[in-house]
Chains A and B, each alone.
Chain A
Amino acid sequence: MSEIPKDLSYTKTHEWIDYDGDGTCTVGITDYAQSSLGDLVFVELPETGTKVGAGDAVAVVESVKAASDIYAPLDGEIAEINEQLEDSPELVNEDPFGEGWLFKINVSDPDAVENLLDADTYEGIVEDEED
């Protein structure tokens, strides 16, 4: 069973979102997502300053097995990217909710965070996919 921290928000496309309460959220992929993809070998991140809309494909994570798009969970602007992943994509496998974060977004509408999935709902989605 994969790890699903209670204090984070989620999308049905397996991104996690950590909102700091002050306009910025950190985004990564879940433990379930990294485990399904297997060893990551490349991570392609957007440039900082890029305007993004919720649901836009903004990054790509590529494993030995497959490439997968990462979607922006909220409208906003890319504030920061995890530059360590350029040389160490395996951080996403090793620590998906910590050092393996992908990018930060300055969100344009903080209230939209409320529309993301909570941990229990996301857990239900993972259980359905595992069946």
Chain B
Amino acid sequence: MAKRTPLYDAHVADNAKLVDFAGWDMPIDYGSQIAEHKAVRESAGMFDVSHMAVVDITGSESRVFLRRVLANDVVKINEDGRALYTCMLNTRGGVIDDLIVYHLAGELYRIVVNAATTEKDLAWLHSQGRDFEVQIQHRQDLAIIAVQGPRGRDLGASVLDDELGAAAMQLKPFRVASQGDRSVGRTGYTGEDGFELVLPADEAVSAWKTLRDIGVAPVGLGARDTLRLEAGLNLYGQDMDEDRTPLESGLGWTVAFKPADREFVGREALEYIREQGVAEKLVGLVLEGRGVMRSHAAVRAADSDADEKQAKGEVTSGSYAPSLSRSIGLARVPAEWEERVEVCLRGKWLPARIVAYPFVRNGKSRIDD
């Protein structure tokens, strides 16, 4: 049977359409994906992301261990209360997972990893941690609610007690406040302001109900996907995986090559690839005209007559962008391609434009018409 988060009953009560997601019964929408998407862009929406795994890492060598196992450098978050986005790589430089690491206090770091990769990640962390003085604890007693949107922080802070709520309102982007097991990060996956609240399961259930009562819309995984795509944020398993490095996946900026003597897992492979030059890159696409690009759609150069099998590019994430009323996507294409391409949709080649992403940031389009 599929796993259920502590908020499962609340989703059922809200008439959520539930789907299997990485072995979890999760809400895909509560009626209208587009309405939920717009609620986040215009006001505030909340996501149950308790299927993702909270892993606490502590011990006298926690920092040294994370500097070894993560491609970004936690030295950047030496100060308590800071957060960092990073990939965790295998020795070939392929992405095992992408995650946010929160420096809660002193030796205590908290990472939040993807649901589909949880077991693999834990196995990897334990095997890599053998030679370090660290404790790695999967916090299955905690739930996660992301409250996102222009009103996300105000409304999200209102379910916290006075002390934590006040600390949360002081946070700058990519900072975190904590209190006991609870943590509040000013982070998210939507391109909007907001919080990610990590709470004990029973507190999460009452927080969800309170947020519902004060007008925060429940938002399903369907809108979560269109929001993150508009925000130009990669999805693990689609836009990157173990066979691709961050350098080919638009995530070169998350790899800390300096200092040169930090030997993180995957460094050697990435340095070799960086020297050779990458053959492929991840780009943003905007479809000209009607239709919707989907994952795995073939992409070819605009002046090419390649058929679907010969095409050298592929859409990794494609959808309809509710904030832009047109289709956008991320695609992996040869490194030298620029500007105009064609995408194969249901047997027809349609023109698309390569653009810099994010497509939408803080509710505003960044794409020229």
Given contacts A64-B34, A64-B322, is CB(A38)–CB(B290) below 8 Å?
no
B78 at the interface (CB under 8 A from A): no
The reply to whether A41 and B320 form a contact with Cβ atoms under 8 Å apart is yes
1/0 contact string of A26-50 vs chain B (CB within 8 Å)? 0000000000001101101000000
B323 at the interface (CB under 8 A from A): no
1/0 contact string of B274-297 vs chain A (CB within 8 Å)? 000000000000000011101000
Report the bound CA distance from A119 to B34 in whole Å.
31
Q: Which residues of A contact B319 (CB under 8 A)?
A: 64
1/0 contact string of A78-91 vs chain B (CB within 8 Å)? 00000000000010
Q: What is the count of residue pairs linking A and B with beta-carbon distances less than 8 angstroms?
A: 34
B29 at the interface (CB under 8 A from A): yes
The reply to whether A38 and B346 form a contact with Cβ atoms under 8 Å apart is no
The smallest beta-carbon distance between A44 and chain B, in angstroms, is: 7
A62 at the interface (CB under 8 A from B): yes
Given contacts A64-B222, A64-B320, A67-B346, is CB(A39)–CB(B34) below 8 Å?
yes
- Residues of B bordering A, CB below 8 Å: 29, 32-34, 222, 226, 290-292, 294, 319-320, 322, 346
Report the bound CA distance from A65 to B346 in whole Å.
15
Partner of B292, one of A67, A90, A93: A67
Size class of the A contact interface (CB-based, 8 Å): 10 to 19
The reply to whether A41 and B292 form a contact with Cβ atoms under 8 Å apart is yes
Q: Which residues of A contact B32 (CB under 8 A)?
A: 38-39, 93
The reply to whether A44 and B290 form a contact with Cβ atoms under 8 Å apart is yes
Partner of A62, one of B33, B222, B292, B322: B292
Q: Which residues of A contact B290 (CB under 8 A)?
A: 42, 44
Given contacts A39-B32, A39-B33, A60-B346, is CB(A65)–CB(B291) below 8 Å?
no
Q: Which residues of B contact A64 (CB under 8 A)?
A: 33-34, 222, 226, 292, 319-320, 322
The reply to whether B292 and A38 form a contact with Cβ atoms under 8 Å apart is no
Partner of B291, one of A42, A66, A93: A42
The smallest beta-carbon distance between A69 and chain B, in angstroms, is: 9
Q: Which residues of A contact B346 (CB under 8 A)?
A: 60, 67
Q: Which residues of B contact A90 (CB under 8 A)?
A: 34
Report the bound CA distance from A65 to B294 in whole Å.
9
The reply to whether B291 and A38 form a contact with Cβ atoms under 8 Å apart is no
Least CB separation from A66: chain B residue = B294
The reply to whether A38 and B320 form a contact with Cβ atoms under 8 Å apart is no
The reply to whether B33 and A42 form a contact with Cβ atoms under 8 Å apart is no
Least CB separation from A60: chain B residue = B346
Known: A38-B29, A65-B222. 7 other contacts (CB 8 A): A39-B32, A39-B33, A41-B292, A60-B346, A62-B292, A67-B292, A67-B346
Report the bound CA distance from A90 to B33 in whole Å.
12
Least CB separation from B345: chain A residue = A67
Q: Which 7 A-B pairs have the closest CB atoms?
A: A39-B34, A41-B320, A64-B320, A42-B290, A64-B33, A39-B33, A62-B292
Report the bound CA distance from A67 to B320 in whole Å.
11
Given contacts A38-B222, A41-B320, A67-B346, is CB(A62)–CB(B29) below 8 Å?
no
Q: Which residues of B contact A62 (CB under 8 A)?
A: 291-292, 320
1/0 contact string of A52-66 vs chain B (CB within 8 Å)? 000000001010111
Report the bound CA distance from A60 to B291 in whole Å.
10
Q: Which residues of B contact A66 (CB under 8 A)?
A: 294
Report the bound CA distance from A64 to B227 in whole Å.
12
The smallest beta-carbon distance between B110 and chain A, in angstroms, is: 33
The smallest beta-carbon distance between B91 and chain A, in angstroms, is: 37
Report the bound CA distance from A64 to B222 in whole Å.
9
The smallest beta-carbon distance between A58 and chain B, in angstroms, is: 14
